[in-house]
């Protein structure tokens, strides 16, 4: 954690009015949502919000349509596209409310399989890297291991203004997880976390930086982030695939599983590529079985050009 002296803190600029109003609105929505039953009331409100979102966001709608076309191997129906927006709205509800839950309340929502793989990885003393996707509930999946008492460090996409990033980071830190803005400066902290035998939580289905390798995903080439694989090759920490999928009545099935055994080549670059492909293949399995829960609202297969 970075210490900020009182003098420096006082020198920070006051957020602009629109940012302050947005933060007040988010806090008000969070408080109101927290006062309502998560299921069925929160579920119904979120699904209605998803319909409004679907109707008012043509660019995101086109992106989801293209993404589902790759996943399904055919043009998706309007209902299939709509369900992605409804699941996206449910994710926002989770983001605003789940951090107010106790550890016991979080665990009561989840049927978890595979926690023993975390223990096995940490027994080796090198930490563990959990690779996940924008699938099911990212907000909930980031709270499960802290609720079980595991030390965890995760990344969030940088948001502007910084006050907005801090709002969401604070929600993700509710049960003790440490959240860092994604980017090169976070690398040192991630390496130190693994050295402390912690668990890293990394969302690995979208290459925000645009620097990852181009590999097949659902049979078509696209860029894939290779940060998790690079950390694994550098430190020896194993990669585990982790997802939390929505089931019935506001509950979740969570899975943590190791990758199939891979034979190292001795060439770090080739090993990183091999691991990245293995992660993509396993995420492909989960996304393919639950496409309506894959909430990526940007085109995942733009014209991929080697870089």
In terms of pTM, does the model score above 0.85? yes
* pLDDT, tens digit, 9 for 90 and up, residues 31-61: 888 899 999 999 999 999 999 999 999 999 9
CA dihedral 36, 41, 44, 49 (to 10 degrees): -10
Q: Which of 75, 123, 98 is nearest to 291 (CA)?
A: 75
Residue boundaries of the structural domains of the chain: 22-293
SS3 breakdown of the chain: % helix, strand, coil, rounded to 5? Answer: 50, 15, 30
- Reduced to 3 states, what is the DSSP secondary structure of residue 254? strand
CA–CA gap between residue 30 and residue 43 (Å, rounded): 15
Q: What is the pLDDT of residues 121-172, one digit of tens each?
A: 999 999 999 999 999 999 999 999 999 999 999 998 888 888 888 888 888 8
Q: What is the pLDDT of residue 16?
A: 79
Q: How confident is the model at residue 13 (pLDDT cuts 50, 70, 90)?
A: low
Burial of 234 (0-12, 13-18, 19+ CB in 10 A): middle
The rounded distance, in Å, linking the Cα atoms of 49 and 43 is: 10
Find which of 6-10, 140-144, 183-187 is predicted with most confidence, using mean pLDDT: 140-144
Neighbour tally for 281: CB within 10 Å: 15
Q: What value, to the nearest 5°, has the Cα angle with vertex 45 and ends 100 and 175?
A: 15
First CA to last CA distance, the chain: 35
């Amino acid at each position: 954690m970075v210490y900020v002296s009182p003098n420096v803190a006082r020198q920070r600029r006051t957020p602009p009015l629109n940012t302050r109003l947005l933060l007040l609105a988010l806090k008000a929505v969070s408080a109101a949502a927290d006062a309502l039953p998560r299921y069925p009331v929160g579920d119904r409100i979120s699904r209605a919000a998803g319909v409004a979102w679907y109707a008012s966001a043509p660019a995101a709608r086109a992106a989801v349509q293209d993404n589902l076309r790759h996943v399904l191997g055919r043009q998706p129906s309007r209902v299939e596209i709509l369900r992605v927006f409804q699941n996206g709205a449910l994710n926002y509800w989770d983001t605003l409310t789940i951090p107010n839950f106790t550890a016991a309340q979080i665990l009561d929502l989840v049927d978890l399989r595979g926690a023993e793989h975390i223990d096995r990885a940490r027994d080796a003393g090198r930490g563990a890297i959990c690779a996940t996707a924008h699938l099911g509930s990212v907000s909930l999946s980031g709270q499960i291991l802290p609720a079980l008492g595991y030390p965890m460090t995760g990344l969030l996409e940088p948001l502007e203004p910084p006050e907005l990033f801090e709002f969401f980071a604070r929600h993700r830190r509710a049960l003790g997880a440490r959240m860092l803005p994604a980017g090169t400066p976070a690398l040192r902290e991630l390496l130190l976390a693994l050295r402390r035998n912690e668990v890293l939580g990394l969302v690995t289905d979208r290459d925000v930086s645009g620097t990852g390798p181009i590999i097949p995903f659902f049979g078509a080439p696209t860029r894939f982030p290779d940060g998790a694989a690079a950390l694994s090759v550098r430190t020896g920490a194993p990669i585990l695939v982790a997802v939390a999928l929505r089931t019935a009545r506001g509950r979740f099935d969570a899975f943590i599983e190791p990758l199939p055994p891979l034979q190292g080549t001795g060439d770090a670059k080739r090993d990183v590529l091999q691991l990245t492909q293995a992660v993509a293949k396993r995420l492909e399995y989960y996304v393919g079985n639950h496409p309506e829960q894959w909430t990526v609202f940007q085109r995942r297969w733009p014209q991929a050009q080697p870089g």
